[in-house]
Amino acid sequence: MASLHQKYKDEIVPILKERLGESNVMALPKLTKIVINMGVGQAVNDKKHLTNAVDDLQSISGQKPLVTNARKSVASFKIREGWPMGCKVTLRGKRMYDFVERLINVAIPRERDFRGLNPKSFDKQGNYSFGIKEQIIFPEINYDNIDQIRGMDICVNTSANNPADAKVLLEELNFPFKK
């Protein structure tokens, strides 16, 4: 079992009970899944960019990404419907907790000019989304083997019903929000 998951069960659940005023453990918010999305616009000109992005995302997440295709044709960008344009991976369970632990403790502190995550990036259902500008902040990526700096979008889905409860959960998981 992941150490962050064990910490959630042993330490964070009692704190959430107290802070949210909820006596039922099943009503407390928890992480449900994490979706990592990497758009690769250069894949239109050279398919090698997409394979390198898939390799990077696979080494970061520990799971094979799904290649996403363009939904619509856009003539000004020379994109046709059905062309591969990016990749994404959905993490659940042990891999999700392992990724969150590496993200909070290793990757985010390595980000250049990092001042904290925006606390206003919650949607109405209590999910949190943010972007990372470069994939090299993860220690799994070998700096000498990258061909281009790529960013990614990370969406943290929770079982919370509102943004306030989700923020309490992520604060207890040590997400570094701006003060």
101-122 confidence digits (pLDDT tens):
999 999 998 888 888 899 999 9
Q: What strand order describes the sheet that includes 128-132? A: 66-69, 84-91, 31-39, 152-158, 128-132
* pLDDT at site 82: 74
Say yes or no to pLDDT of 150 above 90: no
pLDDT more than 70, % of the chain: 98
**Cβ atoms of 71 and 82 closer than 8 Å:** no
pTM check: above 0.85: yes
Number of neighbouring beta carbons within 10 Å of residue 112:
8
**Cβ atoms of 77 and 14 closer than 8 Å:** no
Q: Which helix (H) or strand (E) holds 110?
A: helix 108-110
* 93-102 vs 47-61: helix crossing angle, rounded to 10: 100
Domains of the chain: 3-22+29-172 (3.30.1440.10)
From CA 86, how far away is CA 92, in angstroms rounded?
21
Residue 121 burial by CB count (10 A; 0-12/13-18/19+): exposed, middle or buried? middle
Say yes or no to pLDDT of 92 above 90: yes
Question: Each residue of 20-49: pLDDT tens digit?
Answer: 998 899 999 999 999 999 988 776 677 788
* pLDDT at site 2: 54
Number of neighbouring beta carbons within 10 Å of residue 106:
13
- What SS3 class is residue 105? helix
